Amino acid sequence: MNKPYHISDYYDSFKSHLVFSTSYLGLENYIADLAHHFRKTKYEGNVIIDLLLSNGKTRNRYIQIYFDGKNFDIEIAKSIKANKELQDKSLCYYAENSELLKDSVLNKSQAYLIKNRIAI
């Protein structure tokens, strides 16, 4: 089975890692796997998770969580408003991997726009 996420570097001012959901599964289904990955790579810092496929275009699409080297600090997780750079990076990822859109909460119109690199 493929992983329900894809990890990318995101060089914002915090040098965060950006995680793209690759299925409609909610974050609770794979957060332990993400923590395991970051422990193995000895990463410590911010992680931004794009939950487009499970949350759609909602205010809680992007979640920022701090990873302390061992675990995510869920207590200080927060939804964030994406800047233009983050929106563009997400749009490019999902347009280039448009097959992921079919198994998501997005309607056909939203999936069509993303496939054609038009922000929703």
Give the whole-angstrom CA distance, residue 91 versus residue 50. Answer: 11
What pLDDT, on a 0 to 100 scale, did the predictor assign at position 15? 76
pLDDT in tens, 81-91: 999 999 999 99
Maximum alpha-carbon separation in the chain: 40
Annotated domain spans of the chain: 5-115
Q: What's the whole-number mean pLDDT along residues 47-71? A: 96
Tokens encoding 27: 């974050």
pTM of the model: 0.92
4 pLDDT higher than 60 = yes
Distance CA 7, CA 27 (A): 14
